[in-house]
Structure 1
Amino acid sequence: MDVHEELLRGQAEVWQFMFAFTYSMALKSAVELRLADIMHSHGCPITLSQLASRIDSSCPDISHLARIMRMLVYKGIFAAHHPSDGGDETLYGTTHISKWLLHDSELSLAPMILVQNNQWLLAPWHYLSQCVKKGGIPFRKAHGSTFWDFASQNPQFNNLFNEAMACTTKITMKAFVSHYKVDGFNNIRSMVDVGGGTGTALAEIVKSYPHIKGINFDLQHVIATAPTHEGVSHVGGDMFDAIPNADAVFMKWILHDWGDEACIKILKNCRKAIPEKIGKVIIVDIVLQPDGSGLFDETRLVFDLLMMVDLSGGKERTELEWKKILENGGFPRYRIIKIPALLWIVEAYPE
């Protein structure tokens, strides 16, 4: 590649980076308009006019829809089928990507798309460079409070966030339950899910292993909206004060919210909550592979930036960083179990 071609390629790539937000905004609009749901319920490829007629609007703008669909088809989110019989109307259908946009599917990322592209979570990104220069947390600069205080004082945001966490939990737990084999639950008669949200993750475990007594532990305002799950009791409290006693502590996507010092404090409380011999902590979280080329490695790096923008001290960790906080938290022995998901399993033992 000569210097001029290389320069031109660089320019093209900068344009792509510059306008990458348009992809997520088009994706958000597809979820809000329930385009994947309409196509799915139709049962076969659908025309643009049929698609527009089923949008929840008395006067949908078909020309706007056509242009959004053109981009979504280009990115592979939907498929376009051009008629072979000489007809004029293109037919649109779903793809392996759009199946993750369905609202009522057991496995869906629709709630996560809505919350991550909401104005509340987009605003802090405008403070990213300012925080490099002067320090601070972008979320606090944008909203004047911490992420968790904002959620507790804003029911609409709290519900959006909880729904997003519940949908990602279902996806992760499907991989977790199928790959964390039965021996992982030997000798476990009780398990506390620290920061368990509305109890979705623990409910999946108890459903597969009904001999386990489940304790869903989170802040009071979180469990206030939690539904009833068979075999699961909801307990309100603060993991920095104390954690309910159980044979095992489960934490999914919790420690990445906090800096090392806070994580060590949480882990020490976990250590106090479990038995000396059979007790263990089961962590389901991101393990960074900065030079990795796996399916989720780039997304894991994105989440590290998300943690920096939204939370005080939050970050994703490499294996060496996990080892350090585990040892300092009272868990000198651990193993990492890779599963086909964004998150992996870090199983830690007190001796």
Structure 2
Amino acid sequence: MRLLVRRDIFAAHHPSDGGDTLYDLTHSSKWLIHDSYMSLAPMLLMENHPWLMKPWHYFSQCVRQGGSAFQKAHGREIWDFSLENPEFNKLFNDGMTCTSKIVIRAILTEYKDEFESIGSLVDVGGGIGWNMAEIVKSYPHIKGINFDLPHVVATAPTYDGAVTHVGGDMFQTIPNADAVFMKWILHDWSDEDCIKILKNCRKAIPEKGGKLIIVESVLKADGNGVFDEIGVVFDLLMIAHTSGGRERSELEWKRILKEGGFPHYKIIKIQALPSIIEAYPM
């Protein structure tokens, strides 16, 4: 507890009568309460589970020799591991959903006017559909499609509103819509794979009026903003857990967007770790 108090995870109160030290929550630890709507506990449990800690033992080997630390640790890529392991699949989906609750609030607050003109929206890699459900709740005119691998959407709940779950592979084809939404998907993949995904996104939207809404970090390695350091930490997480995944700078985003069929873009900062990268085919 002494260490946690020094790290401002808990606050210590020393009774004047010399009784036992009492501990209280701080702003930091309030994010870890299990029954809180905005709890980050599922994300913490996921990242500290032995399944995701083991790849770190192969990190230096991965940096020197290449390859995936997760694959070296478990004999398969993280996506195949999730397919074969329902317990890990749930752990992963719960972790992603809890971060979505925080980020989607910032998106709906600071990007709200941009959803008005969208009639249909597909969330590529949408997991169990939390993002799409929240968007449709705020904009009931939108026909929402939650698109992910079949074994992922098989566990997705039914939401109120126009949300349809569709199983498939984003490397093959993506359902058509006025716009494509992707939150923390492209950072899981190499530049080459990202370009394949982006080309399929381009095919899924109309050339005129269509757009791609990417929610990802835009790295500033020497930046001193509140989220800049954690963005670099996430870069290491991608190396440990994916094969070729990485966080990207604006210059790196610009290159893969152009090669993927989106030569025009703008970056919108929001009060969250990721930014919104709005990209257009024309």
Q: CA RMSD for the aligned pairs?
A: 1.0
- Give the AA of the match of 1:159: K
> In the alignment, what sits opposite 1:49?
none
Q: Distance in 1 between matches of 2:115 and 2:42?
A: 31
Matched, 1:214 2:148: no
Secondary structure class of the residue paired with 1:313: coil
> In the alignment, what sits opposite 2:157?
227
Secondary structure class of the residue paired with 2:169: coil
What are the residue-to-residue correspondences of 1:223-302 with 2, within 5 Å?
223-230=153-160, 231-302=162-233
Secondary structure class of the residue paired with 1:167: helix
> In the alignment, what sits opposite 1:160?
91
Aligned-residue offset at 1:278: 1.2
> In the alignment, what sits opposite 2:30?
99
Matching residue within 14, 17, 39 for 1:82: 14
Residues 127-185 of structure 1 show CA distances to partners (whole Å, capped at 9, x for unaligned) of 11112332221111110001100011111111101000000011110111101031x12
What are the residue-to-residue correspondences of 1:44-193 with 2, within 5 Å?
69-84=1-16, 86-182=17-113, 184-193=114-123
Aligned-residue offset at 1:260: 0.9
Maintained 8 Å contact 1:187/1:278:
no
Aligned-residue offset at 1:293: 1.1
Q: Distance in 1 between matches of 2:45 and 2:69?
A: 20
Matched, 1:197 2:160: no
Q: Distance in 1 between matches of 2:39 and 2:196?
A: 34
More strand by share: 2
Query: In percent, how many aligned pairs have the same letter?
Result: 67
Maintained 8 Å contact 2:189/2:244:
yes
Aligned-residue offset at 1:186: 3.3
Q: Distance in 2 between matches of 1:101 and 1:257?
A: 25
Q: Distance in 1 between matches of 2:112 and 2:42?
A: 29
What stretches of structure 2 of length at least 5 have no aligned partner? Answer: none
Aligned-residue offset at 1:87: 4.0
Structure with greater contact order relative to length (CA < 8 Å, sep ≥ 6): 2
Runs of 4+ in 1 over 4 A off after TM superposition: none
Matching residue within 248, 252, 261 for 1:321: 252
> In the alignment, what sits opposite 1:15?
none
Matching residue within 271, 276, 280 for 1:345: 276
TM-score, normalised via structure 2 length:
0.97
Aligned-residue offset at 1:248: 0.5
Q: Distance in 1 between matches of 2:277 and 2:63?
A: 31
- Whichever of the two has the greater Rg, that structure is 1
Q: Distance in 1 between matches of 2:78 and 2:34?
A: 26
Aligned-residue offset at 1:235: 0.2
- Give the AA of the match of 2:170: M
Aligned-residue offset at 1:108: 1.1
